[in-house]
Structure 1
Amino acid sequence: MITSPFGPAADRPRGEDHELPAQTLRRLKAAQEAAEDLRRAVEAGEKEAARLRRALEREREARRAAESRLKEALGAGAGGEERERRPGPPSPDAHERTARPPAPPPPPPELAELRKRLEDSEAERATLAAVLAESERERDAALRARDAAIARLRPRQEARETWDARALKARLEATTFEDVLRRAGRYCASLVITADPDEARKLDHHQKAAQWRGRLADTLATMQLYAEAKNTARARGGNCGPELANLRAYCANQPSPLLSDKKVALNEGQLASTSPRGRAERTFRVPRQIAECGTAVMVEHIRIGDGSPPAPRLHFLDDTDDSGLIVIGFLGDHRYNASTN
């Protein structure tokens, strides 16, 4: 298996080099403590409100009992004349008042105020948590950008040459596909190569092998510069912008790209991407820091060869939005699709 280094920052535990902003952590902790105090106060207020409601209900029961005894006393004193009277039908309003349950008392004013303060505190805590998460992402992006720069500085110092896409491509060129991938593992710190070298070796004896190796070098150099540009933009705290939305957008926005955006496919046909066989043939190994199961379906691919068999393809997983890495999972013959027999 050919692997490329993840870079020191990828393996370093969080917080080892750069502590998170202390002020942000203090504010988050204070907000959490305040929210907990308010929550306890609300619970106490709700218990007190329940006690008051029970006391009010007991008072109502006592009042109803007293009224009943008063009516009985008045009836006994009125004599036969009072007993001959027939009560008329109750009015609709009276029936509605009897059937309607008494409205619960409004909560004490201080309980409503405590609830409002609790809601405000939880909203502030959520905001601080979002700020903390964004700070962690910017820190990780800065570490990745630094490690990529260090990895590329060594060969640049040795060769004393200007480093651009074409200079990087020259570093990657070799006489076999396996060697091209191995060179990418050395010079491209943002690429992780898990592709099976046996699949790549099958292409070496084809009459178009030299042309395909050149396009492979173009592809890997472009991927590295795209990942670096994205990590650098995030490390500076800026917006990556639509030109860094994905590899295809990056290629389309380069003045003279090594890799045409028309060679970049972000998806597959419906059969290839949804059928069990199609997904199985596009499931490749990835680092566990990217997927705990150790594999991922890779529908994004580069057309290394044209449509004629074996029509070689390079399948990859663009994880630059999270880990800052691109995983090269496959290089070889075209995978199963609707036109495959």
Structure 2
Amino acid sequence: MNLTSRSPFGPAAEQRCNIKAHAELVSLGEKLQKTSKDLVEAYKKDVAKYQHLAERERDARREAEARVRAYAKVISQHEDLKAKLESVIPDLVQEWQNLPKDPEVVELEAQLTAAERERDRLAELLRTAKEEREAALRARDAAIARLLPHQEDGSRVGDAEALRARLDAPTLCGVLEQAKQHCSLLVITADPDETKRLEHHQKALLWRRRLADALATMQTYAENKNLNRAHGHGAGPDFASLKAYCGSHPSPLLSPTKVILNEGKFASASPRGKAGRKLRVPEDVDASGYAVMLEHIRIGDGAPPAPRLHFLDDTDRTGRITVGYFGEHLHNANTS
């Protein structure tokens, strides 16, 4: 604004303009002054804040440097400390081991050891007692099953020969059915369709007799083994297996040479051989419901179909025998 200009309205108008311009200048100056003061105050606050942060940073850096120096000192002494500890620890352990024990503690430890031995002894006695009780119950049930039909017809209760007479039937499947009725310690899971294939063979009569002999012998073997265990005598060598049991009798119904406890490598080791002998069993024998049965009895001779009876002897655990197969000779390394 030009203050020296002249107003066309005269000196009075010019004076009023000058006064107004002066007032505006004064107001503007005051605003500038106030804004400057506010900026200065804000800068001062920022400076104070950054100075405080800088001091904290310096303190933290000094503390970190102090820790670094301390760690460096420990690290430099590490090997010496390790060596000192390794030399001191064995002596401390030896001293601790040589410290005399409180007599009361020694006595309590001896009592605890004796109590643990007694507990183990009682647990073993309980296990043996349970086994003997279970064997006695199985033997009792088998005897009852054998006794009732004999009482009905007045015949004498005997051993394998007496039982053998009750297993006669006009068919091979009939012999197995008779065994299910009279042989309480035999679990027969054999597929009857496999047995039926043998029914019309010219040697079927001979095989029926041999099958009845085998089943009667297996039942009496399991019965007598359970009785022996129930009396607390243990199994004994004569009951080590069905083969041993047959060999312990002078004139057994089943010759021990007919009892085969294992088979060749093909049957026992090859997948195909084992798969063919994986047969059904009760779930308390095997949770899967199946087990490989390598033990078998030669019912027929070597000429095809050479019938075989495969079984699983579980008399040492459940007291029973599972008959899983009776039919033609299963596939082996010599089978085409």
- Superposition TM-score, scaled by structure 1 size: 0.69
The counterpart of 2:220, out of the listed 222, 225, 233, is 225
1:269 and 2:264 equivalent? yes
Q: Which residue is 2:298 aligned to?
A: 303
Cα distance in structure 1, aligned partners of 2:161 and 2:112: 58
Q: Residue 112 and residue 183 in structure 1: after superposition, are their counterparts in 2 closer, same or farther (change >3 A)?
A: same
Q: What displacement does 1:121 show?
A: 2.1
Structure 2: where are the runs of 5+ without partners? Answer: 1-82
SS at match of 1:172: coil
Q: Write out per-residue CA displacement over residues 236-290 of structure 1, whole angstroms, 9 at most, x where no aligned residue.
A: 1113211111100111111211110000000011111111111111111111111
Residue 229 of structure 2 is aligned to residue 240 of structure 1: no
How many residue pairs align between the two structures? Answer: 247
Query: For residues 46-65 of structure 1, what are the structure 2 equivalents within 5 Å?
Result: none
Kindly state the Cα deviation for residue 96 of structure 1 after the two structures are TM-superposed.
Answer: 9.9
Deviation at 1:100, TM superposition (A): 4.1
SS in 1 for 2:250: coil
Q: Specify whether residues 199 and 120 from structure 1 end up closer, same or farther in structure 2 by C-alpha distance, changes over 3 A only.
A: same
Partner Cα distance (1:116, 1:235) in 2? 36
Aligned to 1:38: none
How does 1:36-55 map onto structure 2 within 5 Å?
A: none
Q: How many angstroms does 1:97 deviate by?
A: 12
Residue 154 (structure 1) aligns with: 148
SS of the residue corresponding to residue 326 of structure 1 reads: strand
Which of 79, 100, 103 is matched with 2:92 structurally?
103
Structure 2 CA distance for partners of 1:97 and 1:135, relative to 1, 3 Å: closer
- 1:306-321 → structure 2 map (5 Å cutoff): 306-321=301-316
Shift of 1:111: 4.0
In the alignment, the residues of structure 2 paired with residue 98 and residue 201 of structure 1 have an alpha-carbon distance, to the nearest angstrom, of 80
1:207 aligns with 2:196: no
> Does 2:127 align with 1:133?
yes
Q: Which runs of 5+ in 1 are unaligned?
A: 1-94
- Cα–Cα, structure 1 residues 205 and 112, in superposed 2: closer, same or farther, change >3 Å? same
Q: Which moved more, 1:114-123 or 1:223-232?
A: 114-123
1:339 aligns with: 334
Give the Cα–Cα distance (whole angstroms) in 1 for the partners of residues 138 and 245 of structure 2.
Answer: 19
More helix by share: 2
Distance in 2 (CA, whole Å) between partners of 1:326 and 1:293 is 17
- Give the Cα separation in 2 of the matches to 1:338 and 1:258: 30
| Identity over aligned pairs, percent | 56
Secondary structure of the corresponding residue to residue 279 of structure 2: strand
Is residue 326 of structure 1 aligned with residue 318 of structure 2? no
Q: CA offsets per residue over residues 149-177 of structure 1, 9 Å max, x none?
A: 11011111012112332222121111111
Query: Separation in 1 of the partners of 2:140 and 2:108?
Result: 48
TM superposition score normalised by structure 2: 0.70
Query: Residue type matched to 2:148 in 1?
Result: R
Work out which structure has the larger RCO, using CA pairs closer than 8 Å and 6 or more positions apart in sequence. 1
Summarize the Cα distance change of 1:291–1:96 in structure 2 as closer, same or farther, 3 Å threshold.
Answer: closer
Q: 1:128, 1:150 → 2: CA distance? A: 32
| Residues 100 and 282 of structure 1, relative CA distance in 2, 3 Å threshold | same
- In structure 2, distance between residues paired with 1:126 and 1:149: 34
Distance 2:87 2:154 in 1: 93
CA RMSD of aligned residues (A): 1.9
CA distance in 1, matches of 2:188, 2:214: 13
CA deviations on 1:206-255 (whole Å, 9 max, x unpaired) are 11111111100000000111111101111111132111111001111112
